[in-house]
Structure 1
Amino acid sequence: MGWRRGEEREEGVMAADFFWSYTDEPHASRRRQILSQYPQIKELFGPDPWAFPKVTVVVLLQLYTATLLHDAGWLKILATAYFFGSFLNHNLFLAIHELSHNLAFSTPAYNRWLGILANLPVGVPMSVTFQKYHLEHHRFQGVDGIDMDIPSLTETRMVTNVVAKSIWVIFQLLFYAFRPVFLKPKPPGYWEFINFSIQIALDITIVYFWGWKSFAYLILSTFVGGGMHPMAGHFISEHYVFNPDQETYSYYGPLNFLTWHVGYHNEHHDFPRIPGNKLHKVREVAPEYYQGLASYKSWSQNFGFVLPFVL
């Protein structure tokens, strides 16, 4: 289950689907408190100068790997996708998350272009659309009908046992992608047309010169990396409630170095203008605001522990 915000409901109505709250989300108030006590944190605001080279290296490495697998057997392709390519594509997905907050360049358009570059090995155009919905997740965390990062009421009613939840976890990236399409569709804009055109052109180029297996490797890397995969544990750990008094959870483990430090999720929601590589400094400067919060030390362990309870 996750937190939801909405209008007051009759007593007992919808009490078992989410933790319903009618108060403001906690991050804005905590941000004000921290900044009033530690104004030097504002010095951490601003872009990460290493974002562009980091994205470029991962994109080139993943595309090169795809070309090497053009004649490989399907078992080798699947194994490489799960144990190698999934880490790269998930890294790029979280780079896109970072870029949605304009944390690579001061000029928003440059961040969009880099997001389109980071999108290429993912195989499906999504970087521009992701920004539209993700910024709403920050502004309206948990607000019913607006925040598309939280599972829908239909999902909570359909996914009610271990088997269904296992299937949901395996396909959670698809639920994440299609939930806003069905529940809160937005008309595409100019930047989405650019994102779509460049992505499809790259996909066609890969198929034409290296064949379907190279393209399949990229798609599999995206799919398996978003399912029952160690890095995909962050989807569950970030906002699924296991402590009724807490909405957002951080993870302080080594996978942060592969995921743009998205594990520092309380810190990120408190200060979305601070790039991931500096979020640990927030906790160092203002430790008293975070040490008392529940957190995770493992994402992969999440699946074994939370699967019977998630949703």
Structure 2
Amino acid sequence: MQKFLVTGATGQLGLELKVLSVNYPQYEWVFADRTQVSLDNLSVLKSQLEAIQPNIILNCGAYTAVDKAESETELADLVNHQAVAVLATFAKEHGVKLIHISTDYVFDGTSSTALNEEAITNPINVYGATKRAGELAALMFNTDVLILRTSWVYSRFGNNFVKTMQRLLHERDSLGVVNDQIGSPTYAADLAQAMMDIVSAKEWIPGIYHYSNEGAISWYEFVLAIQETTGDSCKVSGIPSSSYPTPAARPAFSLLDKTKIKEVYGITVPHYKESLKKCLMFKIV
């Protein structure tokens, strides 16, 4: 029986994989939190992996506090870059498949067309820079690794933009939301299914792939879509990024082109509105 190791098991994607795992009883599943697989402690990480002896690693663990990363550069680099090098090396040495999750924030936002896997990376914040360093390390130590870049992830689990906006739409009479950052949201349950479709495929074809839901929208338009479902009467207005300064700069345009993952793995990508409705049907936890 193949053993799956899911790192970052208490995060949005890890929890969605746990829900999905009941559909794959043919595998043994290990859902590891940060104490069981310590991406922030390289001195114990390798021994933890040796003890688990997985056949497939789904690396959902990451330092994702984008603004905090600006002041916690070393920790962000440790988790997003150095630990990935350890995972990739372990996978290479033991013949283990590794899917590593990365981000649209490896791009600088200056493109005006959807970004494919060959697009030039040029991160504009610490989070994006450490994630790009993790990609490069993974590919340097293990050419058989599969990197899955995604964007604007949300879920019924954990803290995320959708849940925050649901609350604010209910609590406030008016709300200003950034309207000059363009991309596409990703429902973590869809991303989890895409990962399982990849590992279940007849052939393992490594490399970098992009996955997000279909649709090109701003955060403002995303809130309007959430409001369509919630029915709250809050007045939502679009504002420029300059009116909502943050410690970390965000790419103005980071829409991902999903052609490669559709063609290579035959994966169907749902539209963001369809997936948003599915998510909002669940009791939020």
Scaled by the length of structure 1, the TM-score of the pair is 0.24
Which of structures 1 and 2 has the larger relative contact order (alpha carbons within 8 angstroms, sep 6+)?
A: 1
Bigger share in strand? 2
